Amino acid sequence: MEQSKTGILLVNLGSPDSYEPADLKVYLREFLTDKRVIDFPTPIRKALVEGIILPIRPKESAEAYELIWWDEGSPLIVITQRVIDKLQKRLGEQVPIAMGMRYGNPSIEAGFDELMEKNPDLERVFMVPLYPQYAMATTETVIEKAKEVWLKKYPHLEMITKDAFYDDPQYVKALGESIRPYIEEHDIDHLMFSYHGVPERHIKKRDITGDHCLKCEDCCNVNSPAHTFCYRHQDVKTTQNVAEYLDLDNKDFSYSFAFQSKLGIDPWLTPATDNELVRLAEEGVKKVAVCCPAFISDCIETLEEIGIRGKEDFVEAGGDDLILIPCVNDDDLWIDALETWCADMLKPAEAVA
Ligand SMILES: C=CC1=C(C)c2cc3[nH]c(cc4nc(cc5[nH]c(cc1n2)c(C)c5CCC(=O)O)C(CCC(=O)O)=C4C)c(C)c3C=C
Ligand SMILES: [Fe+2]
Ligand SMILES: [Fe+2]
């Protein structure tokens, strides 16, 4: 069968090759020397990463990764491959699809190479960064890395990128339906939306108006062009979209949102998930369900940080149980959303225009 001239590149964050500390060191070095993740001037970033983080963190992280590692490999990579397999069935074998990881293997470059091997006459690539909300450390760094590879190796290709999709109705439906069984079948007191945190500085840096984000009262609920690149606004909006979809304001449990995974001493977005879990338990919440909508695929940050450590902290503070709600992973409704976006790109050029 003739191969399609449009290829699909799904890009996720990445994982170490194994949970051995040596592999963790390689992976964390690449990850944390990204200037869109630790945005200090290069010499300071390098000194911090090489001098303080890498001597300590790989061993600690290796222990955490070992707890969540699957027989088939890193959950994030395995799940991304399952998504590709399902999408391939939907779109047909004639459509080249590949995965690329922003850090670690397979790299974004390997993803481009795979697409070109599948069809050497490829004309364009539709890249989907698997992040619902825009941030320097999510969509932006993926786009910049892909641009580097594209210009170096395949400048003749047309490149089209999917924007952050927190507001896409099919994504909201997939996320909402992934949460529904956990709020209907478990007698919960509270639903928490836990987003990956970022330093406040990242939010201010990407404020295109210069005076909106974290500068005016309730900024994320005041209309502004800054919201196109405001990770916090897009998290707030994700929560509101799901709340509306699931009618959360009329349930007999409460809900809230918070930010997890703080690293370092700079101010990050608040409230912090770990503090909030303790506060909720101390205030009498017995059963909490936690969803993690900054992540498309379950990974160390959901399975270990929330599912293991978060649960321990919550129970220690007086709660009975914490239920971790799985990410959309390879749910059929999520594949529906991807299929719609890809099918639009696979239409003949004149139909897209
Ligand atoms: C130091 C700063 C970090 C920023 C800023 C950051 C932003 C950010 N990250 C994700 C998604 C993921 N992060 C993951 C792991 C992870 N993140 C950081 C640091 C920052 N992230 C570290 C040090 C680690 C490694 C964890 C460890 O070693 O203990 C993962 C999991 C990958 C996996 O293989 O499981 C994801 C996914 C987002 C969405 C984001 C900004 C919004
Ligand atoms: Fe992270
Ligand atoms: Fe905002």
CATH of the domain at 202: 3.40.50.1400
Tens of pLDDT along 220-231? 999 999 999 999
pLDDT attached to residue 1: 79
Q: Is residue 136 in some structural domain?
A: yes
CA 317/CA 325 separation, integer angstroms: 21
Verify that 88 and 56 share a domain, yes or no.
yes
- Which of 12, 13, 60 best tests ligand 1's pocket when mutated (most atoms within 8 Å of CB)? 13
Judge if 186 and 290 occupy the same domain.
yes
Whether residue 195 is contained in a domain is answered as yes
Q: Are residues 221 and 265 in the same domain?
A: yes
Task: Give the Å distance between the CA of 299 and the centre of ligand 1.
Answer: 10
| pLDDT of 164 higher than 50 | yes
Q: Which ligand has its closest atom nearest to the C-alpha of 141? A: 1
Distance of alpha carbon 145 from the chain centroid: 16
Give me the number of domains the chain comprises.
2
Q: Closest ligand 1 atom to the C-alpha of 58?
A: 28
Q: What is the pLDDT of residue 2?
A: 87
Q: Ligand 2 center to residue 65 CA distance, Å?
A: 14
Judge whether residue 351 has pLDDT over 70: no
Range list of β-strands (E), 49-205: 97-104, 124-129, 158-161, 190-196
Strands annotated E in the chain: 6-15, 97-104, 124-129, 158-161, 190-196, 254-260, 287-291, 321-324
Average pLDDT on 25-36 reads 98
Q: Which residues pair with 199 in a beta bridge?
A: 268
Residues 94 and 234 in one domain: no
Q: Please check whether residues 145 and 286 belong to one and the same domain.
A: no
Asked if the model's pLDDT at residue 275 lies above 80, the reply is yes
pLDDT tens, position by position, 243-257: 999 999 999 999 999
In a domain, 182, yes or no: yes
Cα gap 105→82, rounded to integer Å: 16
Determine, yes or no, domain membership for 1. no
Q: How far apart are CA 128 and CA 160, in angstroms?
A: 9
Mean pLDDT of the 202-216 span: 96
Shared domain for 231 and 269, answered yes or no, is yes
Q: Are residues 184 and 243 in the same domain?
A: yes
User: 265 falls in which pLDDT band (50, 70, 90)?
Assistant: very high
Cis status, amide bond into 271, omega within 30 of 0: yes
Q: Say which amino acid occupies 106.
A: P
pLDDT in tens, 300-326: 999 999 999 999 999 999 999 999 999
- Which atom of ligand 1 sits closest to the CA of residue 294? 39
- The answer as to whether 160 is a domain residue is yes
Tens digits of per-residue pLDDT, 211-221?
999 999 999 99
Averaged pLDDT, 282-288: 98
Cα–Cα distance measured from residue 174 to residue 172, given in angstroms and rounded to the nearest whole number = 5
The closest of 214, 309, 211, 208 to 268, measured between CA atoms, is 214
Range(s) of the domain holding residue 138: 6-165+332-352
161, 194, 190: which is closest to 327 by C-alpha? 194
Protein residue with least CA distance to atom 4, ligand 1: 37
Residue 267 identity (one-letter amino acid): P
The pLDDT score that the predictor gives to residue 295 is 98
46 and 119 in a single domain? The answer is: yes
DSSP state of 20: S
CB under 5 Å of ion ligand 3: residues: 213, 219-220, 230, 232-233
DSSP 53: I
Instruction: State whether 36 and 24 are in the same domain.
Output: yes
On whether both 104 and 242 belong to a single domain, the answer is no
Residues 135 and 205 in one domain: no
Q: Are residues 90 and 205 in the same domain?
A: no
Which residue, among 94, 92, 110, 156, has the nearest Cα to 10 in the 3D structure? 110
Pocket of ligand 1 (CB under 6 A): 13, 15, 28, 32, 37-38, 57, 61, 64, 74, 76, 131, 135, 137-138, 196, 198, 231, 261, 263, 294-295, 299-301
- Tell me what ipTM this predicted complex has: 0.91
Average pLDDT (269-285) is 98
* pLDDT over 90 (residue 352): no
What is the chain's length? 353
Q: Which atom of ligand 1 is nearest to the CA of 131?
A: 39
The predicted-structure confidence for 76-105, as pLDDT tens digits, reads as follows 999 999 999 999 999 999 999 999 999 999
| 302 within a domain of the structure (yes/no) | yes
The answer on pLDDT for 349 being more than 80 is no
